[in-house]
Every structure is written in C-alpha cells, then in structure tokens.
Amino acid sequence: MEKEIGGYIELELKDGEQFHKNSVALNSGRNAIRYAIRAYNITRLHVPYYICPVIWDAINDENCKIVPYHIDENLLPANDFEPDDYILYVNYFGVCAGQVKKLTKQYPNLIVDNAMAFYMPHYGIASAYSPRKFFGLPDGGFATCNRKPEENFPQDTSYHRFSHLIKRIDCGANFAYADFNKNDESLNHEPIKFMSNLTYKMCANTDYQTAKEKRLNNYNFLAENLAHLNKLQITLDEDDVPMYYPLITENDNLRKNLVDNKIYIPQCWRNLDRICKENSYELYLHKYMFPLIIDQRYTNEDLKQIIKTVEETILIKR
C-alpha cells in the first residue's frame, strides 16, 4: 500500500521487534499448522484426541487424513509411532517442553502445537504459535517451519475483530463475551493469510519480557500454594513459560465456585465425549483439569483469591 501523508492521526504504535523473528507471521495459530502441512505435503498426520477441535477442522480443510492418538498421565502419546510418521504434538498448558524435547529425539517428523506455549523455542520440523492466547490481540499466528510452501498468500485485515478487546476495557468481560465468541467463530475455516498490518504492529509493541516474568512468578506462586492438592505433578523445564497452572482435582463444584467468585477459566475441550471412550484419560482431564489463570494482568493479591476459592471448595468436599 502506498504511503499516505496527512489527514487524521491513526492509532499510534511504535516500530518494535517480534519475539519469533525467524517465523512466518500468519492470521492464526491453526493456519500455522496448515502452513506446515502444505510445506511438507503431508497427507496423513497423527493428531491427539486431546486438542482443540478447530485444529481437526483445519487439518481436514487440507484434505489431510487424521490418525488420532491418546495421551497418558505424563501428557505423552500413549502409543509409539513409525520413524517416518508425521506427528502433531500439543505443548499442553505450556508445561511440556521436556516432553517436546524427548519426542523430537524419537521422531524426526514432529510438528509442535505451541498455542499454549508462546515462548517455547522451535523444535521439530515445524512449530505453531498463537499469540492472541497470551496477549490482547484480535488474531494472528506464527509458523516456524524448516520448509516453505511453494505458494504465496494474501494479507489479512483485523480492524473488524477488535470489538471484544475494546469493549472489555470499558464494560467488562461479561459484556464483551458475545463479541469474543463471534470473533473466534470468524476465524473458523479462514484461508491461510499473512498477518494483518495491525496485528503485526501490536505484536511488535508487546512487552514480552515483562509478561514472561509475571507468568512465571504467578505460576510459581500458585504451585507453592496448590501443589499439595494437585494430582498432576509438574517440574518445569527451563524453556517452559506456562499459559495456565493446570490443577487436577476430582471436585465437581470447583468450576461453579470459581465463576461465582468472578474467576473465569476455560474448559479443554468440547466434544471430547463424542470421540473418546468413557474411561479415557482425555475425558478425565476434561472433567477434572482446571486451567487456573496466571497471566501478566494479575498480582499475588488476585492469585490469593483463586487459592482461597480452590482451598475452600476442596475443603467443603472433604
């Protein structure tokens, strides 16, 4: 686009640096996986059951056959693969750097879904990142891939996906939640595009180091206070910067009590009951894994409210 001079002043964003400097900036994390599929002409991909269903949709959009696999209690594949298999592995909750490194040594055709692990270095033949899950962005993704597809892509625009970000500042999360869902749905089946100028500049204006430090501090604070209640025992790798503190506790009231205290957490993931057996570990995680929020917006005082709600809920059960 030819440079325009004069007129009104737009949203002012400085020219900063991207965190993933050697990556291709795309319009979504799911399309970063599609980008890798095209780069390697993958027609058959091993994919975990325990993954966001939009990833299955994205892979299907590439006419790539999905071979599903289960994970075990160490968040590793529950079965072995052939050396030449293409495997998609999820860096669950941003705490699986150790598992990624182990799998990379075993399987040369590993693709890592780092949607929950924005700070994870590149391992395998391709890594996919979703920055909007870590920062206030309308869309966007990064693909670090050892190959490139032999095609070009159009550039996206993002101005029409901003309402939920702006409304939350003025009116709160509940008021903007419908807009958030609408924005999420707008990304479904979107073709691969390069990242919009707006999202790219917003990424370049992000204070990555401060956000990283706060996440690690918040994670460690929750771990110090809740590890004794957590059935998932975790030792962070030096490359782990978690998205959540994944608490596993067999309590049927915790999610409701968190919401009643205005503590909103996601549930990973819907529709698992349609594809997984009743006694599968994936359904167990769906029911009893609570991804507690640890991001850069929150202080120890906020986390104390989370801890208080968790402890009181579990104590009531006892």
Is the pLDDT at 18 greater than 80, yes or no?
Answer: yes
C-alpha closest to that of 277 among 66, 45, 78? 78
Is the pLDDT at 318 greater than 60, yes or no?
Answer: no
pLDDT in tens, 51-60: 999 999 999 9
Instruction: Band the pLDDT of 71: cuts 50, 70, 90.
Output: very high
pLDDT at 316: 66
44 shares its domain with 188: yes
- Within-domain flag for 6: no
48 shares its domain with 182: yes
pLDDT in tens, 123-162: 999 999 999 999 999 999 999 999 999 899 999 999 999 9
pLDDT at 8: 84
- Phi, psi at 200, each rounded to 5°: -60, -45
140 shares its domain with 285: no
220 shares its domain with 79: no
- Please name the amino acid found at residue 98: G
Q: Domain total for the chain? A: 2
Average pLDDT over residues 179-204: 93
pLDDT in tens, 204-252: 999 999 999 999 999 999 999 999 999 999 999 999 999 999 999 999 9
267 shares its domain with 198: no
Using CA atoms, how far apart are residues 112 and 36, in angstroms rounded to an integer?
Answer: 10
Give the 3-state secondary structure of residue 143. Answer: strand
Range of lowest pLDDT (3-17, 93-107, 195-209) = 3-17
How many helices (H) and strands (E) the chain has is answered by 11, 9
Domain that holds residue 303: 208-317
The whole-model pTM stands at 0.94
41 shares its domain with 124: yes
pLDDT at 141: 98
- Within-domain flag for 198: yes
End-to-end, the C-alpha distance of the chain in Å comes to: 64
218 shares its domain with 89: no
Instruction: Say which residue, 173 or 130, is predicted with more confidence.
Output: 130
C-alpha closest to that of 125 among 138, 113, 139? 113
Range of lowest pLDDT (156-160, 181-185, 312-316) = 312-316
Counting residues of the chain whose pLDDT is more than 90, the rounded percentage is: 84
- Phi, psi at 110, each rounded to 5°: -90, 130
- Within-domain flag for 246: yes
83 shares its domain with 113: yes
Instruction: Say which residue, 222 or 273, is predicted with more confidence.
Output: 222
The CATH number linked to 119 is: 3.40.640
Which residues have C-beta within 8 Å of that of residue 295, sequence separation ≥ 6?
134, 211, 214, 215, 218, 243
294 shares its domain with 168: no
Residue where a domain terminates, one of 185, 204, 223: 204
pLDDT at 276: 86
